[in-house]
């Protein structure tokens, strides 16, 4: 591995949360449990939506896409961390680091875009209920998801490509459990002005743009709900937004918490610990948010369990 500007770096070291050997089994067990719950919970949402024709609607189409993205989002970081703990190695190759960074940025942006798309879906459903199926047709739903993928891919490709131009000198240690963009840029010994400008500009654009759309949609939703005369009608209309509103609050609340905590403490290890909230905890809780408060998802899951049990009985016989 080189130690100067002219030598291409071959690997980084992911320091993780703690170097204490006694804590590694605890960290491994905790993150393995959260990862398995995340994958299983989101996979059940996808299977429930795909297996129940009653859930073949725009809202659940976007929800199944969000569940798929959450599985991929967590899978970009946690498996590598678990592998490093299991093998007692902190190494990640340079190519592996850039690849992990690319997919992390991609799925983080997709989470952001899909939450905004789901807010628009709820806006149309409540503010324009008679034209809902005409506006939210299959062509528009597919286009919204496709545009989210395209914009997320362009962002992650741009950010990853400009990292490739950086040179790294003596410090190869990343005080994080994955190759976080800001941490990698801080290790460079070449000029990082362009990287920082692009990173902050894109963060503001992709963060504030979808959030502004979400806030606008809910401002219109609240106005429409207030105009409903009956209390039962207001409750029914609001209940269709409760799960999405909880997911939005969790995603943006944890993301903002990470930003504020890192800015206040200036500690990379504190930032790594706080990042767990939106990289692991949020994708893990989303299936619970959408299933516990949603009768349609509960009914579909029960039907899916019944179908699986019936097929299992037939196979055994």
Instruction: Tell me the per-residue pLDDT of 275-300, one tens digit each, with 9 for 90 and over.
Output: 888 889 889 998 888 876 677 787 77
Q: What is the three-class DSSP state of 222?
A: helix
CATH number of 11-316: 1.20.1070.10
Instruction: Tell me the per-residue pLDDT of 13-50, one tens digit each, with 9 for 90 and over.
Output: 998 887 677 888 999 999 999 999 999 999 999 998 98
The residue with tokens 């989101």 is 42
Residue 93 phi/psi, 5-degree rounding, is: -65, 160
- HSE at residue 187, side-chain half, CA atoms within 13 A, is 26
Q: Is the dihedral of CA 4, 5, 7, 11 positive or negative?
A: positive
pLDDT at 6: 43
The residue with tokens 């008679």 is 130
Please give the Cα distance from 117 to 193 (Å, whole number).
Answer: 33
Instruction: Tell me the per-residue pLDDT of 214-246, one tens digit each, with 9 for 90 and over.
Output: 999 999 999 998 888 888 888 888 888 888 888
Which tokens go with 179? 């190759």
**R_g of the chain computed on alpha carbons:** 22
Q: Which of 9-13, 64-68, 267-271 bottoms out in mean pLDDT, i.e. has the lowest? A: 267-271
């Amino acid at each position: 591995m080189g130690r100067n500007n002219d030598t291409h770096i071959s690997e980084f070291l992911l320091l993780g949360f703690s170097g204490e050997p006694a804590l590694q089994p605890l960290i491994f067990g905790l993150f393995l449990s959260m990862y398995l719950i995340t994958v299983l919970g989101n996979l059940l949402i996808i299977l429930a939506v795909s297996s129940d024709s009653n859930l073949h609607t725009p809202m659940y189409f976007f929800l199944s896409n969000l569940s798929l993205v959450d599985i991929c989002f967590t899978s970009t970081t946690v498996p590598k961390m678990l592998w490093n703990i299991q093998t007692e190695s902190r190494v990640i190759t340079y190519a592996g680091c850039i690849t992990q960074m690319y997919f992390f940025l991609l799925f983080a942006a997709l989470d952001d875009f899909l939450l905004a798309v789901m807010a628009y879906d709820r806006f149309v459903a409540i503010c324009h209920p008679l034209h809902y199926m005409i506006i939210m047709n299959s062509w528009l739903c597919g286009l919204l998801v496709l545009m989210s993928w395209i914009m997320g891919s362009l962002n992650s490709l741009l950010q990853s490509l400009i990292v490739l131009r950086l040179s790294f000198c003596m410090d190869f240690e990343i005080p994080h459990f994955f190759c976080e963009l800001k941490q990698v840029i801080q290790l460079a010994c070449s000029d990082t002005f362009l990287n920082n400008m692009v990173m902050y500009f894109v963060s503001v654009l992709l963060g504030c743009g979808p959030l502004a759309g979400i806030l606008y949609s809910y401002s219109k939703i609240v106005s429409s709900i207030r105009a409903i005369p009956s209390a039962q009608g207001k409750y029914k209309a609001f209940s269709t937004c409760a799960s999405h509103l909880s997911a939005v609050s969790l995603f943006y609340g944890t993301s903002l918490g990470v930003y504020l905590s890192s800015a206040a403490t200036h500690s990379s290890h504190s930032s790594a610990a706080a990042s767990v909230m939106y990289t692991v905890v949020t994708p893990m809780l989303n299936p619970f948010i959408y299933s516990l408060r949603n009768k349609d998802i509960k009914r579909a899951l029960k039907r899916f369990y019944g179908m699986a049990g019936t097929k299992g009985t037939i196979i055994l016989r």
